[in-house]
Structures are given as C-alpha cells and as structure tokens.
Chain A
Amino acid sequence: METAITDPLPWYIAGPLLGLFVPAMLLLTGREPGVSSSFRHLCAVVPGAKALDYFKYDVWKDGLWQILFVIGILLGGTLVQFVLGGAGVPLFLPENLTAAGLALLFVGGLLVGFGTRYADGCTSGHTISGISNLSLPSLIASACFVAGGVLASLVHRFVFGGLVP
C-alpha cells in the first residue's frame, strides 16, 4: 500500500472537532469520550476472566455504551478510508508484516493495554476528556504519555539507529 502523502484535515479543524465530542457526548448521552476501558470490557467477556476481581462486573450493563462507541470508531476508519477518499497517508509500515514486526506490535499493544489500564485512561479519556474537565491527574498522565513516546523515539533512533518515516 504505497500511498502518496497528502495534507491531513488541518489541525485547526480536526482539533476543535475532537474537543467538541466532550460536551456533545456529555449533553447527549451523559458519558465522556473514552476508549481504553474497552480493552477491559473485551477481556471481561472472555470466559474465565471473571476469576479476577478486576473483571467482575456486568459488561453488558456498564460497558455496552463504550463497546458501541469503539465499533463506531472502527466504522469511522472504514468510512474515511473506503468512501471519503482515504486518509491520504500510509497508515502502517511494511516491516510490520514480518514475524518480528508482528511480535513487536503485539508487545507494543500489550504495553498500550497495560499502561492505559494502570493509568486508567488514554489520549481520549485523560488528555481530551480529563483535561477538559480540569483533572490535574489527567494532565500529568498526558505529559507522561508524551514523555514515554519521546523516550522510546530517542532510544529507537539513537540506540537502534531507527529511522523516522
């Protein structure tokens, strides 16, 4: 999938639109946008997971709204990529599709799942929803998200000689 890079939806349109999901969702549905708890829900529906206290809750009662929201996000990706002209930028690296690449993605995914659950939120839950509702812990969490990414970038580039796409 060699895609030529075209300009993204400009930040001054995309950013405000994303931010407006906080009041829109709260006013319409009473919930703040958040995504990473969905990993917990998807784990809690697996038979046997209920052996752990963390997964002892009624997913279909407490988590259905969020499962619908993330299915929507998935469909939003489909809509843009296949109906609305595409994202206009490569979305993945070809080297991901090797055994080592997939293993690394799995480990990275594991860190995303573990980290967001331990921090109790991600870029949407903490950075967008949390800070919008003036949560100081969310601001600190967001700074740590970026710090972790910058640190990983430095190690990747200067220790392993990785390149920026």
Chain B
Amino acid sequence: MSETSASVVKTPWWKYPAWLLLGVGFGAVLTKAQVISVVRVRRMFAFQEAHMFLVIGAAVVTGVISMFIVRALRKTKTDVSGVPMEFKKRPFQPGIWIGGLIFGVGWYITAACPGPIYALIGAGVWDALVILAGAIVGAFVFGWLKPKLPH
C-alpha cells in the first residue's frame, strides 16, 4: 500500500468528487476510442491493426512530455492543495515480468485490461462482471501466495 506521510494531511473534500469525475473522463475516452472492444484488442495482438498500439503509444509520449513540463515548472512537486504528489515506487522484481506475462495472457483471453473491465460493466456488458469476479479472486490468490513467490 502507499506508505506516505502525505496521508497525515486531511484530504480536502473536493478531491473525492474530482477522482470520480476524472474516472468518468478516463472511462469515456477508453470507450469512445474502442480500446475496450474485443475486436480492437484481438486485432492488436494479431498485429492486424495499429489503432491500439497508436493510442497507447500516443498516451505514453504525451504523458512523458507533459510530466517533463510539470517537473520543470513545479519544483515543489505538490498538487494544488499543497500535498506532495505521490509517485508510486515501482522496483524491479520478478513479478514485473512473470506477472506481466500472466496479465498479458489474461488481457488476450478477456480482451480487457483493468480499466476497460469497469468501462465494459458500465456499458452494459454483463459478462465483464465475471471478469471482475475472476480478477478479485486473482488478487486474493496473489495475496495468499505472495509469501511463497519470488520478489
């Protein structure tokens, strides 16, 4: 979990609706860009169309450039409420590639990465509830096996 001193500061109330609304925007773009569709996902992994790769690539390039600008212009590295931005630590560990490959196979089978699972449920695709149930059980299995897995 996120162990930070930031949580000592009380979260301003408006951040809660902000997270919800940011989620709505994120989910709407995922859906309108069709990256939650089995058609696009399967065609990506078969290298039959570039759409998904281009969306993801453009997102990454935009993220890198915009964060470069944010870092340069906001030396305090705090958000608008003065709380330090929480950059998640992502150390090297075997799960990066083992877990990564396992997730990739699951992404192909379900045609949904985690964000799209929720967007699909919202779009009325009820079978995505089965994917979500599987994912929650998968998280449980990970929590259960974690002490035995290489880290």
Residues of A within 8 A of B (CB): 5, 8-9, 11-12, 14-36, 38-40, 42-43, 49, 52-55, 57, 61-66, 68-82, 84, 87-93, 96-97, 101-102, 104-138, 140-153, 156-157, 164-165
Contact = CB atoms under 8 A, between A and B. Distances in A.
Contacts of A20: 62-63, 66
Q: Which 10 A-B pairs have the closest CB atoms?
A: A148-B104, A72-B23, A76-B27, A109-B134, A113-B138, A15-B58, A118-B99, A19-B62, A144-B100, A115-B103
Interface string B78-116: 111101111110111101111111111111111111110
A126 B22 contact: no
A5 B29 CA distance: 17
Given A17-B29, A81-B122, A122-B113, A144 B55 contact: no
Nearest to B95: A118
Dominant SS among interface residues on chain A: helix
A108 B109 contact: yes
A28 to B, nearest CB: 6
Contacts of B117: 109, 112
Given A11-B58, A14-B55, A152-B104, A76 B15 contact: no
Interface residues of B, number: 120
B106 A144 contact: no
Given A76-B119, A110-B135, A49 B140 contact: yes
Contacts of A153: 42, 45-46, 108
A60 to B, nearest CB: 12
Contacts of A121: 88, 90
A77 B85 CA distance: 28
Contacts of B27: 72-77, 79-80
B114 A116 contact: yes
Interface of B: 1-2, 6-7, 11, 15-16, 18-48, 50-51, 54-64, 66-67, 69-70, 74, 78-81, 83-88, 90-93, 95-115, 117-125, 127-128, 130-144, 146-147, 149
Contact of A137 (B30, B62, B90): B90
Nearest to A113: B138
B135 A35 contact: no
A39 B86 contact: no
